[in-house]
Amino acid sequence: MSDFLAEMIEERTRANPDFPALVEAALNRRELLRALAAERQAAGITQTELAAALGTSQAQVARLESGNADAKLSTISRLAAVLGKQIEFRVTDAPPKKRRPRKATGSKRRPAARASSP
């Protein structure tokens, strides 16, 4: 990894601790779309034919397949369906978040009042 890229990721992660997870999600979407592009090519379907089946333009299909568009899940599912495929979704545990220390503001918060039990 280049020093510039490592520095940029580190800087963005300091600003947003969720940044690495966002990058990973984007890379996973890109990998999925590239796999669908390979399926399209293996089926002998052109981008133009796929676009017609989806009701969109060839340019939009090209953007999707290259990962240069933020595709909705419904779009990805429709694209897969045209190719005779389906996308499987699953829910998994997220990795634990790293907590950033809070900056001291000088004022103390009072604990919330608790209701007494009868």
pLDDT tens track, the chain, 118 positions: 568 888 888 899 999 988 888 888 888 889 999 999 999 999 999 999 999 999 999 999 999 999 888 888 899 999 999 999 999 988 888 777 766 556 655 555 555 555 555 5
Which are the contacts of 57, defined by CB distance < 8 A and separation ≥ 6? 51
pLDDT score recorded for residue 80: 96
* pTM score, whole prediction: 0.69
For residues 66 and 63, what is the distance between their CA atoms, to the nearest angstrom? 5
Domains for the chain: give ranges and CATH numbers: 3-82 (1.10.260.40)
Q: At what angle do helices 73-82 and 47-54 cross, to 10 degrees?
A: 120
Quote the pLDDT of residue 70: 83
Tokens 């429709």 appear where? 78
Cα separation, 49 vs 88, whole angstroms:
24
Which pLDDT value is given to residue 26? Answer: 86
Could you tell me if 9 and 23 are in contact, meaning their C-beta atoms sit under 8 angstroms apart? yes
> How much is the pLDDT for 96?
77
Residue 37: how many other CB atoms lie within 10 Å:
20
Residue linked to tokens 């992660």: 13
